[in-house]
Structure 1
Amino acid sequence: MDRRTVLRTLAHAGMASFAAPAVLRGRYRLFAQSGNEYSARTIALMRESTVIDMLCQFAFDDFRRPGGPLGQRWLRDPRTFTAEDFAMFRDSGVNVLALGSGPGSYDDAMRFYAQWNGFIASNSQWFTRIDDATDLRSVKATGKVGVMLTAQISDHFRTAADVNTFYGLGQRVSQLTYNSQSRIGAGFLENRDGGLSSFGQEIVARMEQVGMVVDLSHCADQTTLDALEVAKRPPIFSHASARALLPACTRCKTDDALRKLAAKGGVVGVPMIRFMIRPAPPVTVQHMVDHVEHLYKLIGPDHVGIGSDLDMIGLSNGMPATGQPNLTNQPNFDRYGAYFASDGMAHVDGLNHPKRVFDLTEAMVQRKHSDANIRLLLGGSFSRVLAQVWK
Structure 2
Amino acid sequence: MTQARGISRRTLMAAAAVSAPMLNFGLYRAHAASPKRYSKRAVEVVKSSLIIDMLAPLALDFRPTFPAHRLTPELAQQFRDSQITGFHNAVGIGGPNAVQQTLGWFAQWTGFVGRNSDLFTLVDTADDLDRAKRDGKCAVIMGLQNADHFQTTADVEKFWLLGQRCSQLTYNSQNLLGAGGTDRVDGGVSDFGAGIIAAMNKQGMLVDVSHCGDRTTLDAIAVSPRPIAITHSNCRALVNHPRTKTDEAIKALTAKGGVMGITGVRMFVRDKEPTTIAHMVDHIDHVVKLSGIEHVGIGSDADLNGYDDMPADQYKMLKAGYKDSYAFRDKIDTDGFDHPLKMFDLAEELIRRGYSDANIRLVLGGNFRRLLGDAWVPQKA
Q: Report if TM-score (shorter chain) is over 0.5.
A: yes
Separation in structure 2 between the aligned mates of residue 322 and residue 314 of structure 1, nearest angstrom: 13
* Cα offset, 1:125, TM superposition: 1.2
In structure 1, what is the equivalent of residue 260 of structure 2? 268
Separation in structure 1 between the aligned mates of residue 128 and residue 144 of structure 2, nearest angstrom: 19
In structure 2, what is the equivalent of residue 15 of structure 1? 21
1:388 aligns with 2:374: yes
In structure 2, what is the equivalent of residue 4 of structure 1? none
Please tell me whether the aligned partners of residues 30 and 341 of structure 2 are also in contact (alpha carbons under 8 angstroms).
Answer: no
In structure 1, what is the equivalent of residue 245 of structure 2? 253
Separation in structure 1 between the aligned mates of residue 257 and residue 215 of structure 2, nearest angstrom: 19
Separation in structure 1 between the aligned mates of residue 30 and residue 127 of structure 2, nearest angstrom: 30
- For residue 89 of structure 1, the aligned residue among 54, 67, 79 is 79
User: Deviations for 1:141-181, whole angstroms, at most 9, x for unmatched residues?
Assistant: 11111111000000000101110000000000000000111
The DSSP-based 3-state class of the residue aligned with 2:278 is: helix
The DSSP-based 3-state class of the residue aligned with 1:310 is: coil
Identity %: 43
TM-score of the two chains, using structure 2 as the length reference: 0.88
Alignment: residue pair count: 356
1:370 aligns with 2:376: no
In structure 2, what is the equivalent of residue 340 of structure 1? 329
Please tell me whether the aligned partners of residues 233 and 243 of structure 2 are also in contact (alpha carbons under 8 angstroms).
Answer: yes
Separation in structure 1 between the aligned mates of residue 174 and residue 258 of structure 2, nearest angstrom: 24
The change in CA–CA distance for 1:102 and 1:319 in structure 2 (over 3 A counts) is: farther
The change in CA–CA distance for 1:83 and 1:28 in structure 2 (over 3 A counts) is: closer
Please tell me whether the aligned partners of residues 310 and 317 of structure 1 are also in contact (alpha carbons under 8 angstroms).
Answer: no
1:311 aligns with 2:303: yes
Letter in 1 for 2:319: L
- For residue 280 of structure 2, the aligned residue among 281, 284, 288 is 288
The change in CA–CA distance for 1:176 and 1:165 in structure 2 (over 3 A counts) is: same
Unaligned runs of 5+ in 2: 1-18
Separation in structure 2 between the aligned mates of residue 92 and residue 136 of structure 1, nearest angstrom: 16
Separation in structure 2 between the aligned mates of residue 390 and residue 241 of structure 1, nearest angstrom: 24
Separation in structure 2 between the aligned mates of residue 245 and residue 126 of structure 1, nearest angstrom: 38
- For residue 338 of structure 2, the aligned residue among 342, 349, 352 is 352
The DSSP-based 3-state class of the residue aligned with 2:257 is: coil
Letter in 2 for 1:388: D
TM-score of the two chains, using structure 1 as the length reference: 0.86
Separation in structure 2 between the aligned mates of residue 226 and residue 312 of structure 1, nearest angstrom: 33
* Cα offset, 1:34, TM superposition: 3.8
- For residue 164 of structure 1, the aligned residue among 157, 165, 171 is 157
The DSSP-based 3-state class of the residue aligned with 1:375 is: helix
User: Which sits farther off after the overlay, 266-275 or 111-120?
Assistant: 111-120
Map 1:1-391 to 2 at 5 A. 15-16=21-22, 19-20=23-24, 23=25, 28-29=28-29, 31-61=31-61, 69=63, 72-75=64-67, 77-78=68-69, 80-104=70-94, 105-247=98-240, 249-315=241-307, 319-321=311-313, 324-325=316-317, 327=319, 330-331=322-323, 333-334=324-325, 336=326, 338-341=327-330, 345-391=331-377
* Cα offset, 1:30, TM superposition: 6.0
Please tell me whether the aligned partners of residues 306 and 379 of structure 1 are also in contact (alpha carbons under 8 angstroms).
Answer: yes
The change in CA–CA distance for 1:359 and 1:114 in structure 2 (over 3 A counts) is: same
Letter in 1 for 2:354: K
User: Which sits farther off after the overlay, 314-323 or 269-278?
Assistant: 314-323
In structure 2, what is the equivalent of residue 5 of structure 1? none
Letter in 2 for 1:102: G
- Following TM superposition, the consecutive aligned residue runs of length 4 or more in structure 1 with deviations greater than 6 angstroms are none
* Cα offset, 1:319, TM superposition: 4.6
Please tell me whether the aligned partners of residues 246 and 279 of structure 1 are also in contact (alpha carbons under 8 angstroms).
Answer: yes
* Cα offset, 1:210, TM superposition: 0.5
